[in-house]
Amino acid sequence: MIQEILLELLKGAGRFFLNPLFYIVLLFSVLLGYIRVKRERRDFRVRIDDGLTELRNVLSESWIHAVVLSVAIGTAGLAVPKGWLVLFCAAMLLVVLSVQYALGSPVYAAGAAALAYWLLGHYGADTDLPLIGWTYSGQPEGMAFTVPLIAGLLLLAEGMLIRRRAADDASPLLLNTARGLKGAAYRTRRLWLLPLLFVVPGKAIAELLPYWPQFTLGEETFSFIFIPVVIGFRQTAKHTMPENLFPGLGKAVIWTGAGASAASFLYFWLPDSGWYVLGASVLVRAFISFWYAARERKGNFAVSPRSEGVTVAAVLPGSPADKMGILPGETIRKVNGVSVADERELYDAIQVNAAHCRVEVLNRDGELRLCQHVIFRHDHHRIGLLVIR
């Protein structure tokens, strides 16, 4: 039995790499990096991170979440019908191709797949669907429990990723303020990829792939399949700094996922309650996005020009400015003892002492501090400061 299960897992992992969604996500992560670099060079004449940063993030940031969820789904035996699983992948594929990552929460794809499954079942119940090898034969027992529970668990993973990762590499962009000046906003557009294990009961996989190995557990036959679950996220921070905005947003999503996961157990008392839980989860997740987006559109820019000095929009990683601890939103008042009021004066003042740079900084709270650093030949000629022009 153990050998059969291990063989099934290995084969299921191998089939993961045959899923076109996996390669499309990799391709579009590179595209996201290209678009970001192009915008940063337009606004600041230099890019902050290289164009493959998004690809590296896709391949590295969500593996722990995928392993934990796969173990939970597999050991709990949360089986889903093949028809829903294919529709779930189709919904995620549409989000990736349309680049509408504000709709990239997996609960949206889970809800859309459940609705499409019901519509196909009621309006195409007498028709085979050869594209996915599925003939509707009614709602499988337990689907109203497993699908909402899996959607809730995915919301938990999404919230954790947003809370810990969304502020990383938030890309600055220049926008017009109400006074016609330039202010800095910070846009996060991310894709996260979770190689997730799903359990399909019966012979559903064999109908599509007869050579797919299966193992027997009691009187039921199951197949393991790994699916690339995609989480998309897009949010712009204007009124609040990213490191202050995204942890709160992520926490709200985590609470939504925890509530949805717990509420899905109402199925054992009210069998149809799972669909109401799934629908409520979709609405709450949409409200969270709407609330935070509306709040950021109001109010002043968190990073905007001040009456004196040059406002920092971003700092290049590993640069002298980064090593001095200068942060986005702070204002450079003096460089090497010379007062500066614009980018040109900042550049000229840096050249006053090409070997050692002393900077007077006004922090976000309006307090002055002095930073200094030795400048080496290979360092950026503007010490790594991207300022509002």
Domains and CATH numbers, the chain: 2-297 (no CATH), 310-387 (2.30.42.10)
Give the model's confidence band at 261: pLDDT under 50 very low, under 70 low, under 90 confident, else very high: very high
158 Cα distance to chain centroid: 7
Confidence of residue 13 (pLDDT cuts 50, 70, 90): low
The reported pLDDT for the residue numbered 204 is 42
Is the pLDDT reported for residue 378 higher than 80?
A: no
Residue-level pLDDT at 96:
95
pLDDT of residue 101: 94
Instruction: List helix spans (H) across the chain.
Output: 2-16, 20-44, 53-60, 63-76, 82-98, 106-123, 143-165, 204-208, 242-263, 273-297, 320-323, 343-350
Percent of the chain at pLDDT above 70?
84
pLDDT band at 221 (very low <50, low <70, confident <90, very high): low
Share of the chain above pLDDT 90, in %: 48
Residue 371: is it exposed, middle or buried by C-beta count within 10 angstroms (0-12/13-18/19+)? middle
Q: Tell me, what's the pLDDT at 205? A: 44
pLDDT mean over 136-157: 87
Selected residue with higher pLDDT from 207 and 19:
19
Query: Per-residue pLDDT tens for 322-346?
Result: 888 899 999 999 888 888 888 888 8
- Give the model's pLDDT for residue 288: 97
The yes-or-no verdict on residue 387 having pLDDT over 50 is yes
Q: pLDDT at residue 200 above 80?
A: no
DSSP type of residue 102: G
- Point out the least confidently predicted range of 9-23, 99-113, 263-277, 291-305: 9-23
Question: Over the chain, what is the mean pLDDT?
Answer: 84
Q: How many CA atoms lie within 13 A of 335 on its CB side?
A: 29
Average pLDDT rounded to a whole number, residues 213-218: 44
Pull the structure tokens for residue 353. Answer: 């002492």
∠ CA(17), CA(61), CA(14), 5° rounding? 15
Averaged pLDDT for residues 66-84: 87
Note the pLDDT of residue 217: 42
pLDDT at 385 over 90: no
Minimal CA–CA distance to 253: which of 95, 105, 148, 150? Answer: 105
Residue with the bigger pLDDT between 253 and 272: it is 253
- In the predicted structure, residue 191 carries a pLDDT above the cut 60: yes
Name the amino acid, one letter, at 70. Answer: S
pLDDT reported for residue 164: 94
CA–CA distance, 136 with 142 (Å, rounded to integer): 16
